[in-house]
Amino acid sequence: MHIDSLKAVALSVRALSMDGVQKANSGHPGLPMGCAELGALLYGEVLKHNPADSGWFDRDRFVLSAGHGSMFLYSLLHLSGYKLPLEELKKFRQLGSKTPGHPEYGWTDGVETTTGPLGAGFSNAVGMAIAESMLAAKFNTSEHKVVDHYTYALSGDGCMMEGITSEAASLAGHLGLGRLIVFYDSNKISIEGNTDITFTESVADRYRAYNWQVLEGDMYDFAGMAGLIEKAKAEGGKPSLIILKSVIGKGSPNKAGSHDVHGAPLGTDEVKATRKNLGIPEDAEFYIDPKAVEYFKSRKADFQDAQDEWQAVFDAWAKATPELKKEWDQWMAGTPDLSGIKWPEYKVGDSAATRSASGSAMKAIAAALGNFMGGSADLEPSNKTGLGQGDYSRENCSGRTLRFGVREHAMGGIANGIALHGGLRTFCATFLVFADYMRPPIRLANLMKLPVTYVFTHDSIYVGEDGPTHQPVEHLESLRIIPGMTVLRPGDGEETNVAWEMALEKTDGPVALALTRQNLSVYQKADKDWQKTMRKGAYIVKEVDGTPDVVLVATGSEVNLALKAADMSGKKVRVVSMPSRETFLKQDAAFRKAILPEGVKTVVAETGIVNGWEGIASNADSVLCMRSFGESGPAGDVEKYFGFVPENLAKLL
């Protein structure tokens, strides 16, 4: 181990971090300064990575769960040779720079995930470790290991307080993810002061109860930390938590160890004092120790050799197992081949809940796509998400149904981690009303443009007796307003097949499927090319001769309602199914006018809140939507109580 060189790297991390924050007059210098030794050890000696190729598939993953300490990561990426020049560190937190306030996936070379919301990165790391184990079980042979890497994460006291971290840690321990190693920066400081004011539990005992190996050491002992990492790697049956005692803002003579250094610049005078304390010239901004530069220059060949050695193993494996190599290429392509899927077939008049139709479609997808996997938050019998491909477990890493347990928040974060890792196409599922529990990871999935599919069943007041706590009314709209999100609410079994096709075809963001508990009849489609047209968000289900008197737009279960209302209205009513309003509104004006002719009254029916339909309905009186929470009672009674019956809708036409 090159102790002197690692000390030079740590010194450089402290200098770059405090100066980046000071120049921006914004940021968090405490963690980078407090954890500099760990960063030096990881990026210099521990991680299997190649800064010259950040996309090398078998690299170790490092997740900065405590994303507020982003200068820690940026400093190390620059020093170790990733495509992050010093000029970008000098533009920390400035518009358009490669060093945003919190790490952003797809924006900065070497950043594995977008972090900042505390605990989100921890859950992503759990997902990455799951993905590694599944791919290893699939592709490794007794002669060749082509998937053989670890997932590391750095979490702070804030991460450890967050509920998502507890959920994810519990599942990781249950699954025995031995290739997951988390460092806990235990500095006992939060924004408001010492953690004693809010956080006095034994984190070590909690993680032991989660079935983790817990190791403890000193953040500033290179040899000690290296030994702990080796112990963690040697424990194949449990994830490891390495608790490292640290001093936040280490090196600052007047602010180290205090909450003052957590989330604010040191200040001009303290920066100078810190430079003096560290042995850096007082006027040397963005100082980098020459020994650190020379160290990483000397490591460059080693990093490349590690990738070259893997490539040689991979090439030998590909030659020995051509069929596995073919599957590897398919899985890694990112765009699934849907041509082999035998979709469920329906005829007009068939009756099925769209959750059931989705379940049938998912089994067909899983039979054709070997990397399609995911699971439900303890609701598989209700969500209909069983794939018939075995359960993933510590004993069976080849299983493709994940049992998340009642952990919706962590489920969303873990699904993001699986998608980030690469090689697998994932979904997760719960009731639509519980999308609220996983909204933060849904938002992050959109921010990172991850192709995760959310299966949200029990999508309306037709949940019935479970009452307003379980009847989603605002949730469709709350998902639609997330930038990048595609929400699909199919109206029958045939539309559900196409909705799944659309979800799998989308590679630049997530898709939410809103699915019914109650049965819906398959209806005749006037548009003979409706499967293509539906991809634009809406199509004509029932057409009339000439110009319609009214256009009746509906989504999901309300399409059947709309057809009945149109038949009894006595008017020329065009019925439009609009499974994805936001997709429809993105189309050109000519298409929108072809579906919704100008000057023709437009009425909307949906069992969600009225908000958002202002741009579709002709006026406020042309909408049959929810304007309150639901009520508890049999579905039919609730339906009548809120007026979702043909006679009532017909009056609006």
Active-site residues: which are they? 408
Contact indicator for 607, 569 with CB cutoff of 8 Å: no
Task: In whole angstroms, give the CA distance from residue 294 to residue 79.
Answer: 10
Q: Any idea which residue has 């029916």 for tokens?
A: 605
Contact between 28 and 263 (Cβ < 8 Å) = yes
Q: Whose structure tokens read 């790490």?
A: 103
| DSSP 8-state assignment for residue 443 | H
* Distance between CA atoms of residues 59 and 66, nearest Å: 21
Encode 349-388: b = buried (16+ Cβ within 10 Å), e = exposed. Answer: ebebbbbbbbbbbbbbbbebbebbbbbbbbbbeebbbbbe
Q: Sheet with 372-376: list strands edge to edge.
A: 401-403, 372-376, 425-431, 453-457, 511-514, 486-488
Q: What's the rounded Cα separation, in Å, for the pair 496 and 489? A: 8
CA separation for the pair 109, 51 (Å, rounded):
9
Of all helices (H) and strands (E), which one includes residue 194? strand 193-194
Q: Is the dihedral of CA 181, 186, 190, 195 positive or negative?
A: positive
| Cα gap 431→468, rounded to integer Å | 13
* Residue 189, phi then psi, degrees to nearest 5: -130, 135
For residue 368, the number of C-alpha atoms closer than 13 Å in the C-beta half-sphere is 16
Instruction: Please state, in angstroms and rounded to a whole number, the distance separating the CA atoms of residues 199 and 312.
Output: 49
- Which ranges in 235-353 belong to alpha helices (H)? 268-278, 290-320, 322-332
Q: Where are the beta strands (DSSP E) in 489-570?
A: 511-514, 519-521, 539-542, 550-554
Nearest to 629 by CA among 615, 645, 613, 641: 641
Whether residue 435 contacts residue 457, with contact meaning beta carbons closer than 8 Å, is answered with no
Inter-CA distances, 227 with 261, 435, 459, Å: 30, 42, 51
- Structure token digits, residue 78: 């620059």
- Tell me the two tokens of residue 593: 């006018």
